[in-house]
Each structure stands twice: as structure tokens, then as C-alpha cells.
Amino acid sequence: MEHAANVLTELGVESEVKVLSAHRTPDALREWVTGLEPRGIKVIIAGAGAAAHLAGAVAGHTTLPVIGVPLVGPTSIGGGLDALLSTVQMPRGVPVATVAVGEPGAANAGILAAQILATGDEELGKRVRAHRKAMAAKVLGSQ
């Protein structure tokens, strides 16, 4: 999840990191999630491996956008396929935007969160577009 935080920092988006478990700390998770919207939080990124129910549990407690990052854990099956399926298979009415497994997914989650926030923040939108242009320039410069 460090990659999501790094991207947000690069884009000038303030974020916080919290370690919770859908299964081991359900009360603390509920309390934290229900307190986010009153604090002005607009988007949530949740990463989990194996059973990977964290993003879904978060989404069950809020109507804020939730981005799920499937992670490869020590007991993962198929390189994180179990986490991917657990994150993406949400019931109708409780969506979780799901990105790729692992580091690329975490980075994309940071970018997606910034893009969501940029719909209401013109300056952030400029930074997101500049970030995209810089990635393109890096690819073109390596040819």
C-alpha cells in the first residue's frame, strides 16, 4: 500500500494510513469508517490479501467511493487470485472499484483516488494530467 501513499504524496494529496482487519478488528473498522465522512474524507483505498474482505467490509459501512487493492499474502492462492476475486465480487448495491493485484494496483489506486478527487479540484486535475504526461514522456524517452 506504500505505492498508493507515494502516488498521493507525489500528487499533493493528503492521506492517512490505518491498519485494520475486516475479521480481527471489526468493531474498530466500523468505528473508523463511520467517522471518515464527518472528517471530510472523500475516497477510501483498502488493501488486503487472501480472503481480502476489507474493501467490502469498508464499503458496507459507507457510501464513500472505496477502491480495493488485492494483495499477495503468505497464504495467497494463484499469485493473489483469491484476493482479486474476494475484492471484485461484491453484491449489487455495494460497489468496490477494484484494481490490479499488488504494487501496480496500489499505485493505480492512488492515481484513481486522485482522479476522483480531481473532479472537484481543478488544481489537482492539473497535477494528475501532468503526472500522466510525465509517464508518457518517460516511455517515449526510453525508445
Compute the distance between CA of residue 38 and CA of residue 43 in angstroms, rounded to an integer. Answer: 13
| 46 DSSP β-pair partners | 68
20 pLDDT more than 70: yes
For residues 142 and 11, which has the higher predicted lDDT (pLDDT)? 11
For the entire predicted model, the pTM comes to 0.95
Question: What percent of the chain is modeled with pLDDT above 90?
Answer: 94
Would you say the C-alpha torsion 93, 56, 109, 122 has a positive or negative sign?
positive
pLDDT in the model for residue 143: 62
88 pLDDT more than 70: yes
Mean pLDDT, residues 120-135: 97
In the chain the domains, ranked by start, together with CATH numbers, are: 2-141 (3.40.50.1970)
Confidence of residue 96 (pLDDT cuts 50, 70, 90): very high
